[in-house]
Structure 1
Amino acid sequence: MFSTLRSISRLKPRSPILSPSLIKPKPSFRRLSTPPPSPPPPSRADRIISKLPKYLHPYTRPLLSHPASHLTSFLILHELTAIIPLFTLFTFFNLTSWNPADLLPAEWIETGYTRFKRYIEKKGLEKWIDGRGVMGLAIAWAVVKALMPIRVLGSVWAAPWFARKVVIPVVGLVRRR
């Protein structure tokens, strides 16, 4: 009985007929064709981005594919981070009697006061905004100006998301019409 099992095991092939070791790759015949073209040289932006730290690459790569939408989103965010705090602080300073005039440079407050006073007179809004309101606008403007570095960093940080979620879809809707 054991001899029959040995003879049956000898009949089985030791390796499959089409094993990867038996299949040899065919040589490629490219003697008559032209060599493949060399890759294009990296652009100036690619060279600059390659020199940045690796953790910044996810933020800078989308800028190459949609530079106009990212720039537009940065500008929109930058303006929103100026206008919304300006009117929020103006309202806060008018509702409370507190203002941070001691903490801000006096020339910023004077510049803001003259700008807003001239604008209010030009538009004929003197009956709605008195001198205290103009001072509140000037102080709010100085605070927003003092927060400029934080506003710029926040706008740069949020620009890719804002471009992806707002600007590019809006541009797509406008182009479809």
Structure 2
Amino acid sequence: MGRLWSVPPPSRGLHSSPARATADKSAQAARAARLIARLPPRLQEYAKSFVEAPAAHAFSLFLLHEVTAVVPLFGLLYVFRALDWVPPFSDELLGLGRTVFAKMVADNHWAEEGTAEAAKLVLQGATAYTIVKILLPVRLVLSIWLTPWFTRLSILPLIELFNSAKPRPRARKTSGVDFDQMPRRRR
């Protein structure tokens, strides 16, 4: 009987053998070590921690970036409302912010549509939105600078807490034989 496929069947994973997977991981580690060695000494510690937990650092960066947007947005809006003040900005700068805040005010029923209070709230919100968008480069630098610290003090302890709360698999025993201690056959 002839071959059904003109190409070889797919392998059972990314690597064809455990030895190959180990070799790839060690090559990646060596590549990362060479890259870290080229960095200035004060950045090497941060780079090492990033290489050890890249997903935690990426999540921290994302979270910090969002916090540095939301907190100033509503903080500025609160200050503008408390002072009953509308900072002077041109209509060109407030264009997108006005659209976003008009939708938020309408969706959340913060003020009755068509009133002077609603227009003032939209203008104050648009101004806060515009200021937050103008500060994007500062927010990015701040988020990147705080990422290693935030990851070390909050994200990694949470990961360890969840990992320690996982139930541990029990050893399978049948007829007094511990199958987990037996040598495994190579495939």
Q: TM-score range by the shorter chain?
A: 0.5 to 0.7
Given residue 117 of structure 1, which amino acid in structure 2 is its aligned partner?
A: A
- Aligned match for 1:51, one of 30, 38, 43: 38
Cα distance in structure 2, aligned partners of 1:64 and 1:151:
23
- Aligned match for 2:127, one of 136, 139, 157: 139
- Aligned match for 2:102, one of 101, 106, 117: 117
Given residue 54 of structure 2, which amino acid in structure 1 is its aligned partner?
A: P
Equivalent position of 2:50 in the other structure = 63
User: TM-score under structure 2 normalisation?
Assistant: 0.64
Alignment of 1:28-177 (within 5 A): 40=27, 43-102=30-89, 106-127=91-112, 130-177=118-165
Where 1:125 maps in the other structure, the secondary structure is coil
Distance 1:44 1:116, change over 3 A: farther
Cα distance in structure 1, aligned partners of 2:138 and 2:36:
23
Distance 1:41 1:68, change over 3 A: closer
Distance 1:157 1:41, change over 3 A: closer
Cα distance in structure 2, aligned partners of 1:119 and 1:108:
18
Given residue 70 of structure 2, which amino acid in structure 1 is its aligned partner?
A: I
Kindly name which structure, 1 or 2, has the bigger radius of gyration based on alpha carbons.
Answer: 1
- Cα RMSD for the two superposed structures: 2.4
Where 1:72 maps in the other structure, the secondary structure is helix
Cα distance in structure 2, aligned partners of 1:126 and 1:88:
19
Can you give the 5+ residue segments of structure 2 that lack an aligned partner in the other structure? 1-25, 166-187
User: TM-score under structure 1 normalisation?
Assistant: 0.67
Equivalent position of 1:21 in the other structure = none
What is the number of residues matched between the two proteins? 137
Cα distance in structure 2, aligned partners of 1:153 and 1:127:
39
Deviations 1:106-165 (A, max 9, x none): 433111011111232234433397111111111001111111111111111111111011
Where 1:101 maps in the other structure, the secondary structure is coil
Distance 1:48 1:84, change over 3 A: same
Distance 1:114 1:41, change over 3 A: closer
- Give the percent of matched residue pairs that are identical in Structure 1 and Structure 2: 32
Given residue 154 of structure 1, which amino acid in structure 2 is its aligned partner?
A: L
Q: CA deviation at 1:63?
A: 0.3
Q: CA deviation at 1:41?
A: 7.1
